[in-house]
Amino acid sequence: MRHVQRRARRVGAALAAVLSIAALSAGAAGCAPGGPGARKGAHGAPPAAAGVIRVWPDDGSKGVAPGTTLRVRAVDGHLESVRVVRSQDAQDTPVPGHLSRDRRTWRPAEDRLALAARYTVDAVAVDGSGRRSARHTSFTTYVPRERVIAYVTPENRSLVGTGMIVSLAFSRPVAERAAVERAVRVTARPPVEVRPHWFGADRLDFRPEHYWRPGTEVTVALRLRDVRAAPGVYGLQSKTFSFTVGRSQVSVVDAAAHTMRVHRDGVLLATVPVTAGAPEHPTYNGKMVVMEMLDVTRMDGRTVGFGGEYDIPDVPHALRLTASGTFVHGNYWSSPEPFGRTNVSHGCVGLEDVKGGGGDTPAAWFFRRSLVGDVVEVVHSDDRTVAADNGLGGWNMGWREWKAGSALGRHGAG
């Protein structure tokens, strides 16, 4: 399946705020069900999550005023859980709140929203028929005029996989790219050369030539305060944060063989049967990086350019690979036949699972052993290679081409 929403809980490192990558571009996700033996639940087709859960401000809103009301409401049934996170300067802070006595409404403890922040809302509700639905939304708040801030990936003090790319998404276009690039420094211990690459005027990524070495400590210093980013526009932040690279895990999905080989520290850990994109909706080839991990999420084909073929409110064990919505995820609605035998999805990589995500299924096994920043590489698919700016796809670009994307020429930022 290809495209979706975000997390129901944070696992390992999280993407603090890739606004230009995933946050601002998307809402719901999508990888379609399908294939021989697809089965519906006991109550027929599940309801659309937006019809069960309402969230204010609207998903994808930008420049939300501080006095705007933040509310989550169950239209039908009651709220099972609500998690709201505020992201600022590469730090994620849970927003405290409380449910009403009838568990139909959630309100924050403080009504005033923070300036220059990104809010994400993950809610799970149970409708009147006992069916669970998950909804993920996000919005950003007002950034004062004549200031620019960078939303940073990954978050401070996180533990990530060896494929993590440092990504800065700016709140407005940057005209003075060289000046901004000089104000950002990414260093590693043990030392390794790290170079920048601009994707358009509002995104700056950093990576080494090869995947990070396990155990590397990476420090990102933002010295953007009062740096001119455009005529009359100046930076706001002066902050240093860091993250740690964990063990190496690279998983290779062979779309022709319908398998995923999971390698841990260079050793084959397991070969898992999968179903990839069907011939009419093939999975991207190339190296992709786990951007976020969700215990449960909604996948709606209408949000990603498909028709109304599917709307699944409770897809389990979902790991986002691209901003456009490619996932590795659990699939409970198909019979066991497609896994390891045929490709039936709408572009995602499906692993056998059960409704609710319990047990020791292949999807649960892979989810528990994954980190944000792990690499998933797809080979032998009939689709093109994923674009370098689709999610954290920069590893698909050669080192010379990557370095050429610096505004400072061949010497880069360092």
Q: How far apart are CA 68 and CA 57, in angstroms?
A: 8
Distance of CA 203 to the CA centre of its chain: 16
The single residue of 3, 197, 317, 329 carrying the catalytic annotation is 329
414 assigned to some structural domain: no
Band of the pLDDT at 271, cuts 50, 70, 90? very high
**Nearest to 7, CA basis, from 140, 158, 135, 152:** 135
320 assigned to some structural domain: yes
324 assigned to some structural domain: yes
SS3 178: helix
405 assigned to some structural domain: no
305 assigned to some structural domain: yes
| Average pLDDT of span 289-311 | 77
| Average pLDDT of span 93-108 | 97
Band of the pLDDT at 116, cuts 50, 70, 90? confident
Contact criterion met (CB below 8 Å) for 372 and 159: no
pLDDT of residue 158: 97
Give me the domain span that covers residue 299. Answer: 249-395
Q: How far apart are CA 162 and CA 32, in angstroms?
A: 29
The single residue of 98, 348, 380, 411 carrying the catalytic annotation is 348
pLDDT tens digits for range 134-193: 999 999 998 887 899 999 999 999 999 999 999 999 999 999 999 999 999 999 999 999
334 assigned to some structural domain: yes
CATH of the domain at 340: 2.40.440.10
| Average pLDDT of span 228-257 | 95
For 354-375, give the DSSP string. Answer: -TTS-SS-HHHHHHHT--TT-E
Pairing of strands 238-245, 158-160: parallel
Q: Is the dihedral of CA 259, 262, 267, 269 positive or negative?
A: negative
348 is catalytic: yes
258 is catalytic: no
259 assigned to some structural domain: yes
Its pTM stands at 0.78
**Residue 9 in this model has a pLDDT that exceeds 60:** no
If you average pLDDT over every residue of the chain, what do you get?
87
- E-strand ranges in 109-215 read 118-126, 132-140, 147-148, 150-153, 158-160, 166-170, 184-189, 194-198, 203-208
pLDDT of residue 50: 65
pLDDT tens digits for range 21-34: 333 333 345 564 44
pLDDT tens digits for range 341-382: 999 999 999 999 999 998 899 999 999 999 999 999 999 999
pLDDT of residue 402: 98
171 assigned to some structural domain: no
pLDDT of residue 410: 61
pLDDT tens digits for range 29-75: 556 444 444 433 333 455 666 679 999 999 999 999 988 999 999 99
How many domains does the chain divide into? Answer: 1
